[in-house]
């Protein structure tokens, strides 16, 4: 399955949050390391943010996750492939596809995150994402609206 | 913001709506028809409950052609729990969850 075919199958998860901020501010928060380290378990994202470029998420011990930029339409839509690199036994797993849609609605935006996982992955990684993403997105909302992220702890590696 | 919080509590106050969320937790991305199959409710009632859950942002929808797929969206629940519960109970809850993990990993070893 290619990156384009995967849109034909329904996403595995869809998360939505409404944020009082401009689309550009939300875009920056998703794509700039100085923002992500405030709400995303302290990780810094780096990337060129053009189609075909690489991106990576850095923690204290190096690359935690990385992937390719598949669609880049600032400040409205970003689609990336996502490989987990931090855990030894996750390295051979097929990538997930993550898409962010940023829609302005008056003074707020609706941020929709969809995840496609075209090839099955071990349940523990799926469960890890299910716990992690809602925390990250609610922390992002809090960070942008109040300047303070929610206090969230770095999750333990999947057992 | 408080309006959004009210919507979440109002939506969660009804057992039928909680049953719909449970059904989506078990299998995400269901159509109205699929959700009706598992429920002892009329299609009309399910439709009404889903609309309320959507308004509260507890259910997110994706259109595939003419099919509307429903997804559990736990983000608003996290916003509420982080703002209120964690503020007071973080220390104790982390201790409990660490204890739970330790006990469960013991079980795995047997």
Q: What is the pLDDT of residue A4?
A: 47
Write out pLDDT tens, residues B14-50.
Answer: 999 999 999 999 999 999 999 999 899 999 999 999 9
Contact A11 B71 (CB under 8 A): yes
Q: Do B62 and A10 touch (CB under 8 A)?
A: yes
| Disruptive mutation site among B3, B24, B60 for chain A (greatest number of A CBs within 10 Å) | B60
Are residues B19 and B69 located together in one domain of the fold?
Answer: yes
Asked if the model's pLDDT at residue B9 lies above 50, the reply is yes
> Which candidate from A10, A137, A152 shows the least CB-CB separation from B64?
A10
**CATH number (domain holding residue B26):** 1.10.10.10
Based on the fold, state whether residues B35 and B45 are members of the same structural domain: yes
Based on the fold, state whether residues B49 and B79 are members of the same structural domain. Answer: no
CA-CA distance, B30 to B9, in Å (whole number)?
23
C-alpha–C-alpha distance, residues A64 and A33, integer Å: 13
Query: Residue A101 in contact with residue A115, Cβ under 8 Å?
Result: no
Q: Which pLDDT belongs to residue A3?
A: 45
pLDDT of residue A8: 63
What residue numbers bound the domain in which B79 lies? 74-110
- Tell me whether residues B28 and A112 touch, CB distance under 8 A: no
Is the domain of B10 the same as that of B59? yes
Please list every residue in chain B whose beta carbon sits closer than 8 Å to the beta carbon of residue A21.
none
d(CA B15, CA B27): 18
Give me the helices (H) in chain A, please: 23-31, 33-39, 123-146
* Structural domain count of chain B: 2
- Is B104 found in the same domain as B63? no
Burial of A101 by CB count in 10 Å (0-12 exposed, 13-18 middle, 19+ buried)? middle
Residue of B48, B45, B70, B57 whose CA lies nearest to B5? B57
Same domain, B19 and B61: yes
pLDDT in tens, A30-40: 999 999 999 99
CB contact under 8 Å between B71 and A142, yes or no, is no
Contact residues, chain B to chain A, C-beta under 8 Å: 4, 28-29, 57, 60-62, 64, 69, 71, 73-79, 82-83, 86, 90, 94, 101, 105, 108
Higher-confidence position of A129 and B80? B80
Nearest to B75 among A134, A156, A159 (CB): A134
CB A104 within 8 A of CB A95: no
Q: How many CB atoms sit inside 10 A of residue A158's CB?
A: 15
Q: Are A118 and A94 in contact (CB under 8 A)?
A: yes
Contact between residue A143 and residue A42 where contact means Cβ atoms under 8 Å apart: no
Give me the torsion for CA of B78, B79, B84, B89, rounded to 10°: 40
Please indicate, yes or no, whether residues B35 and B7 belong to a single structural domain of this protein: yes
Same domain, yes or no: B59 and B84: no
Percent of chain B's residues with pLDDT above 70: 74
pLDDT value, residue A101? 97
Q: Which stretches in chain A have pLDDT values below 50?
A: 1-6
Q: Average of pLDDT values for B61-88?
A: 84
The number of residues in chain A equals: 159
Residue B85 pLDDT grade (very low, low, confident, very high; cuts 50, 70, 90)? low
Which residue from B4, B28, B83 is facing A13, i.e. has the nearest CB? Answer: B28
Strand order in the sheet with A44-47: A13-19, A108-116, A96-105, A77-84, A62-73, A54-59, A44-47
ipTM of the complex: 0.82
Q: Is the pLDDT of residue B105 over 90?
A: no
Q: Which fold has domain A13-146?
A: Alpha-D-Glucose-1,6-Bisphosphate; Chain A, domain 4 (3.30.530)
Are residues B57 and A18, on separate chains, in Cβ contact within 8 Å?
A: yes
Q: Taking the alpha carbons of B38, B4, A133, A9 in that order, is the dihedral positive or negative?
A: positive
Strands A44-47 and A13-19: unpaired
């Amino acid at each position: 399955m290619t990156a384009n075919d995967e849109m034909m199958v329904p996403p595995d998860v869809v998360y939505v949050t409404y944020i009082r901020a401009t689309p550009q501010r939300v875009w920056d928060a998703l794509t700039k390391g100085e923002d992500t380290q405030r709400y995303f378990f302290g990780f810094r994202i780096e990337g060129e943010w053009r189609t075909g470029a690489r991106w990576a998420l850095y923690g204290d011990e190096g690359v935690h996750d990385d992937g390719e930029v598949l669609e880049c339409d600032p400040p409205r839509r970003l689609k990336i492939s996502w490989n987990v690199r931090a855990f030894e036994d996750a390295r051979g797993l097929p990538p997930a596809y993550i898409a962010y849609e940023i829609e302005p609605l008056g003074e707020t935006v609706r941020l929709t995150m969809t995840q496609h996982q075209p090839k099955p992955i071990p349940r523990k990684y799926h469960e890890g994402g299910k716990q992690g993403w809602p925390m990250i997105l609610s922390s992002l909302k809090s960070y942008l609206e109040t300047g303070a992220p929610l206090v969230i702890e770095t999750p333990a590696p999947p057992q | 913001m408080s309006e959004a919080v009210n919507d979440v509590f109002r939506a969660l106050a009804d057992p039928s709506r909680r049953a719909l969320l449970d059904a989506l937790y078990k299998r995400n991305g269901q159509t109205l028809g699929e959700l009706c199959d598992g429920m002892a409710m009329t299609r009309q009632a399910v439709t009404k409950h889903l609309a309320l859950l959507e308004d509260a942002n507890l259910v997110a929808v994706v259109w595939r052609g003419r099919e509307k797929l429903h997804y559990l969206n736990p983000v608003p629940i996290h916003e509420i729990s982080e703002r209120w519960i964690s503020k007071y109970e973080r220390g104790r809850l982390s201790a409990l969850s660490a204890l739970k993990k330790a006990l469960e990993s013991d079980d795995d070893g047997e």
